[in-house]
Amino acid sequence: MDAMKHVGLNVAADPLFTMAYTGVNGGLVVVSADDPGCHSSQNEQDNRHYAPFAKVAMMEPSDSQECRDFVKEAFALSERFDTPVLLRLTTRICHSKGLVELGERQEAGVREYRKDVRKYVVVPAHARERHGLIDVVYNKSNIVIAILDNRVTAMTGHQENPGTGVTLMGEETMPVDIERIVKAVGIKDEHVRIVDPYNLAETEKAVKEAYEATEPFVIITRRECALRKDAQKKRENVYCFVDREKCRKCKACMKMGCPAIAFKAGEVVIDASACNGCTLCRQLCKFDAIAKVGE
């Protein structure tokens, strides 16, 4: 089973179309969640059109019970007809909860792989994959690449990924080392910087060095997403506040667009309930008018 949001299927369209005619042998269900209204996405699209385009079966559950039932049926159809099955969801269905009735578990077993050259004769034999960073090194491009490592898949639901060190089942595993990958494809050691984006001086120094470089340069910013529950728990009683006696109302702290900072009734104020104590505003203030509470 593969699960992704609607734009993720755009990226996965190539293998989906290929497997539609090569077959899958074992069951393959592709779960794709559309996002009507753009609640957490950059666009709207109707992925139901992928089914007739790729000539694969599609199922569309409308509640929690059907989600459970349709997944089982989708796997049965996939294995019976040797084809991927698209399970199309929407944001509303994905965020819903409900009581479901469980049935008897049926063990499917592992299907034996049988080589069939005729099924794969149309697959390009010399196809190869290339990574954008490899192309940058190969072509000697003079650019700066910033990799924002927030230790989670932030935009699509805070699920784990190969860089978090935890599997989707919650088991600890070996995390992907981004720095080693960057250097392995050819970026020189002296052109790699790892910074904490909460440290403005450190970040600005790295950006300046990258700007002055004449070869590919990579900046890796490493800081866990502030919206993760564990991050929020650690910063539960941490926040910043404005010392009104020292504040000159220059509004320098507001230039970074922090949603916790506002200018009300002629005063700069920080909403303690929205502040996570990152101290970026404090670092911007030249008059020492912002203080931090908690550690």
Cα 99–Cα 109–Cα 78 angle in degrees, nearest 5: 70
- Token digits of residue 30: 């592709």
Length of the chain: 295
137: which residues sit within 8 A by CB, 6+ positions away?
A: 185, 186, 187, 216
Cα 99–Cα 103–Cα 107 angle in degrees, nearest 5: 135
Residues forming a β-bridge with 239: 293
Per-residue pLDDT reduced to its tens digit, 74-84: 999 999 999 99
pLDDT at 123 over 50: no
Q: Model pTM greater than 0.85?
A: no
Q: Cβ distance 220 to 179 under 8 Å?
A: yes
Confidence (pLDDT) at 47: 96
Q: Cβ distance 134 to 185 under 8 Å?
A: yes
Paired sense of beta strands 192-195 and 239-242, if any: unpaired
Report CA-CA distances (Å) from 237 to 65, 206, 216, 233, 291.
40, 31, 41, 8, 14
Per-residue pLDDT reduced to its tens digit, 216-265: 999 999 999 888 888 889 889 999 999 999 999 999 999 988 999 999 99
Residues forming a β-bridge with 222: 149
- Token digits of residue 64: 């929690």
Cα 230–Cα 202–Cα 162 angle in degrees, nearest 5: 40
Instruction: Look at residue 77 and give its three-state secondary structure.
Output: helix
Confidence (pLDDT) at 124: 46
| Residue 62 banded pLDDT, cuts 50, 70, 90 | very high
